[in-house]
Amino acid sequence: MNWLAHSRWRPILYAFGPIAIACSIGVAAEGDANAGKVKTRMCAGCHGISDYRVAYPEVYAVPRLGGQDESYIAKALRDYRSGARKHLSMQGMAASLTDQDIKDIAAYYAQGGTK
């Protein structure tokens, strides 16, 4: 890197380097469905069982997630995490998720519906 640091290209490096880094982070921050598959193991206990019903606070069948809109799943998880959307077990589940976890999980569940 010595040649670069002392070359006439240095201003360009300083100008565009941060942009290049920001772009690469941007790419990495997209949801990864393969990573999401591993991260949904804790979801599968309820959402991975067909017609599974929760009993508290009310008895009803948990939502199907396969094929759901990706940005909707991400929003739901962010809202559970912040407490804007309230459900005791889902708030507990979402509390441990990072932004990247949420994107990966949303990408995974967005697959798998019928067209």
Partner 1 sequence: MIFSRHMIVAVAASLACTVSLAQVDEGIRKKAEETCGSCHGPGGAKPAMPETPKLAGQQYEYLIHSLKAFRDGTRESPLMGAMAKPLSDADIISLSRYYSSQSGLRTRY
* Cβ neighbour number for residue 9 with a 10 Å cutoff: 12
* 38 is a contact residue toward partner 1 (CB under 8 A): no
Q: How far is the CB of 36 from partner 1 (least distance, A)?
A: 10
Q: How far is the CB of 90 from partner 1 (least distance, A)?
A: 12
Report which of 90, 88, 108 is spatially closest to residue 35, judged by C-alpha positions. 108
The residue within the footprint of partner 1, chosen from 13, 39, 47, 91 (CB under 8 A), is: 47
* 56 is a contact residue toward partner 1 (CB under 8 A): no
* 97 is a contact residue toward partner 1 (CB under 8 A): no
d(CA 43, CA 109): 11
* 84 is a contact residue toward partner 1 (CB under 8 A): yes
> Of residues 3-32, which lie at the interface with partner 1 (CB under 8 A)?
none
Q: How far is CA 12 from CA 8, 19, 21, 45, in A?
A: 8, 11, 14, 52
